[in-house]
Structure 1
């Protein structure tokens, strides 16, 4: 069973272990720490465990912590938009878990919060993430040429979006 739920103190060790993978920084923003220390895990859970509304969720598979997924609210004229971000521990790759977790997040964002548009920026070399987004109903809006600077290189970002049904 796949679920998204608030982070728990009991997630600290699994969060640190799974997030401290050398591959994750290739696909995430630079603010995702590497190495990912126990202190990083404790701080992340402390910041998120009592958040209201909950915007960052633990992904759990059969009750076990497997990764993270969340919404980054936008502001001002874009206040009904949220950027989606996610990562999954390597032992859980290739099983459809992220698509299921993203589908749960979409439902939460559109039916329990006020968002009408979700989007994700994906690095050009992250075909797996592009597939996850497409399977969850997102469509490619654009390619922003050399918009990101990652690991010493300028790379393209593919922008995917999803509108709340009935918004058009």
Structure 2
């Protein structure tokens, strides 16, 4: 499936609200991703993404429809040359290689357009699909943070993955 990584625009609000309104998306995300996901949530997110100078946000869009989102949150201080990666994809698109290609393109763009030299992702250990995406994109497993996540009524380990600019 062809797709583009686009800056978030308010014209994407209806499509974002539709694509993001699925509880399965939140299963392995940190807190803060609303469910249900309303038009107001979409508008609030896009407005914040447009104003956020400490992050690098993109919409994953195919034929005008939002398939997901991907972003980097830039670190500060002595860690300012690193950033934390986050992403989500609407379940109808799972298992098609879309996120692998989106992460690959997005990280290449981020390395080319910013001064960061390290991109890190922290994945909840049971999220095997996300770990596979990162491994296919060249991320290396750097460590395990034991019982660092409390989600869905249980404690989980998280896996630290990183990609270094070559």
Which one is further off, 130-139 or 26-35? 26-35
Q: Per-residue displacement from partner, 1:103-143 (whole Å, max 9, x unpaired)? A: 11111211110110001010111000000000111011111
Q: Which residue of 2 aligns with 1:118?
A: 119
RMSD after superposition: 1.5
**Structure 1 residues 59-103: Cα deviation after superposition (integer angstroms, max 9, x where no partner):** 012443110000011111111110000000111111111011111
Contact 2:55/2:72 (<8 A) preserved: no
Structure 1 residue aligned with 2:10: 9
Shift of 1:147: 0.7
Give the TM-score normalised by the residue count of structure 1. Answer: 0.92
In proportion to residue count, which structure has more helix? Answer: 2
Query: Which residue does the alignment assign to 1:76?
Result: 77
**Number of residues of Structure 1 aligned to a counterpart in Structure 2:** 165
Looking at structure 1, the residues matched to 83 and 54 of structure 2 have their Cα atoms a distance apart, in angstroms, of 13
Give me the TM-score of the superposition, normalised by structure 2. 0.93
Ranges in structure 1 where 5+ consecutive residues have no aligned partner: none
Task: Provide the rounded CA distance (Å) in 2 between the counterparts of 1:7 and 1:95.
Answer: 23
* Runs of 4+ in structure 1 over 3 Å off: 49-54
